[in-house]
Amino acid sequence: MASSVESAPQHGRWIDEWEPEDPRFWETRGRRVATRNLIFSIFTEHLGFSVWILMSVVVVSLPQAGITLSVSQTFWLLIVPNLVGAALRIPYTFAIPRFGGRGFTTFSALILLVPTGMLAVAVTIPDPPYWFFLATAAAMGLGGGNFSSSMANISFFFPTSKKGFALGLNAAGGNLGVAVTQFAVPLAISAGTGINLVNAALMWMPVIILAAACAWWFMDSLTSAKSDGESYAEAMREGQTWIMSVLYIGTFGSFIGFSFAFPTLLKALSDGRSSWVGAAFTGALIGSVSRPLGGWLADRMGGAKVTITVFGCMAACTYTTITGLAAKSVPVFFASSVALFILAGIGNGSTYRMIPLIFSAAVGTGSEPGRLDEAMKAARRKAAAAVGIAGSVGAFGGVAVNLVFKSSLESGSLQPALWSFLGFYIVCCALTWWCYLRKTVAIEWSPSLAYANV
């Protein structure tokens, strides 16, 4: 006779019983349903990133369309979507238990018609006011929140043993949206005669409608998906949460901040040569693909060891970027910047992998054997909350990156910004060593926990 979880009741695509930790349920039904939801979650999250980063490509072509902006105005158009996207990450996480994965994913896709519609208006009306461009950039930030809702939703579908791989695929698929936009939009706006900026908006609208339709018809909501405000409150009181948030600023903050700025920087340094600007997508592409590599390396070498190595290499690459800038060598600047994207992607994976291990190892050093299972479950909930907090703080790091670029370029040189980044990466190296690799604080592997060193 089929178990109750095998025939989990479903109403209006709400699933009432979901037991992914039950091997029989997972093999007979759970894997198929979870995989289907993961596929369409990646689609929608990917689209969210694509719209989130869209202004980074549009601003490069505004002068050719007769719209001239100052350095300050240009960078505010890059900063505002980053700021809004970062601010939305935590509320988007709590939306999944409230509205269901299917319903909220459909909504988060459809609402992307707002920024794309506003962009279509902004680039077609005569003498568009700057405030309307700012409002459009702010609306694009809606795409940045999709990461958190998508990650939260998928985390409920998979068993603990498979959650890391599923979330890694989900994150990497979303991050690839940056590269797709920076590759495809320049081709779209140059199609035909002259610069057709409206294509940068219109090309996404059918895809947005398709993503929303797929989410509505093929995704599910789980009644067992519950908000966990208590775990968030506990995670916010943990010093480890904020240490890891600082490290995530160095990895994801660098990735998303550089992604927003890279086309503009290449245009400025290459005197607008389209060959270099057109290659800007390379950094985000390789950085996105390298993210799962960071998690894989962390599983085998230890997350803290991978992370400290990443920050050391990022400091070295930043110095190379500075030398390329001093020599006025665009190829050196480009190559070292792409290396920074790769390292930031690896660091994204390794820092995310550290968080659950840190909280679990802390349980192993302070819990009574009889209460270990209960304590481990609480640690996993707290770690999941810490991941959400770090993700939001890391996105704010992208805002800081562009504020530093803006201030530096207004002073007449990019070098002060790069020196400040180099110093921050050295600080991250020291913080990683002090908190996780010193002999007096290093967390040893424990067979009873089945967790390796961080």
Q: What's the pLDDT at 328? A: 87
Mean pLDDT of 328-341: 93
Token couple for 377: 């479950």
CA-nearest of 169, 44, 142, 156 to 100 is 156
Instruction: Band the pLDDT of 268: cuts 50, 70, 90.
Output: confident
Backbone angles phi, psi at 14, to 5 degrees: -95, 125
158 DSSP 8-state letter: S
Cβ neighbour number for residue 139 with a 10 Å cutoff: 23
pLDDT over threshold 70, residue 218:
yes
Residue type, 151: M
Q: Is 449 helix (H, G, I), strand (E, B) or coil?
A: coil
Mean pLDDT of 13-21: 88
Cβ neighbour number for residue 3 with a 10 Å cutoff: 13
Output the CA torsion 75→76→79→85 (10° steps): -140
> Kindly report the CA angle at 116 between 257 and 172, in degrees rounded to 5?
45
Higher per-residue confidence, 123 vs 300:
123
Domains of the chain: 19-227 (1.20.1250.20), 228-454 (1.20.1250.20)
pLDDT digits (tens, 9 = 90+) for 140-171: 999 999 988 888 888 889 887 787 788 888 88
Average pLDDT, the chain: 86
Identify the residue whose tokens are 């990133």.
49
CA-nearest of 207, 253, 218, 182 to 34 is 218
Secondary structure element (H or E) that encloses residue 11, with its range: strand 10-11
pLDDT over threshold 90, residue 191:
no
pLDDT over threshold 70, residue 11:
no
CA-nearest of 93, 44, 51 to 217 is 44
Interaxial angle between packed helices 254-269 and 372-410, expressed in degrees from 0 to 180 and rounded to the nearest 10: 20
370 DSSP 8-state letter: G
Residues of the chain above pLDDT 70, percent:
90
pLDDT digits (tens, 9 = 90+) for 385-421: 888 888 889 889 999 999 999 999 998 889 999 999 9
Rg (CA), the chain: 22
Cβ neighbour number for residue 26 with a 10 Å cutoff: 20
Identify the residue whose tokens are 């979901």.
18
Output the CA torsion 293→294→299→300 (10° steps): 70
Q: What's the pLDDT at 423? A: 97
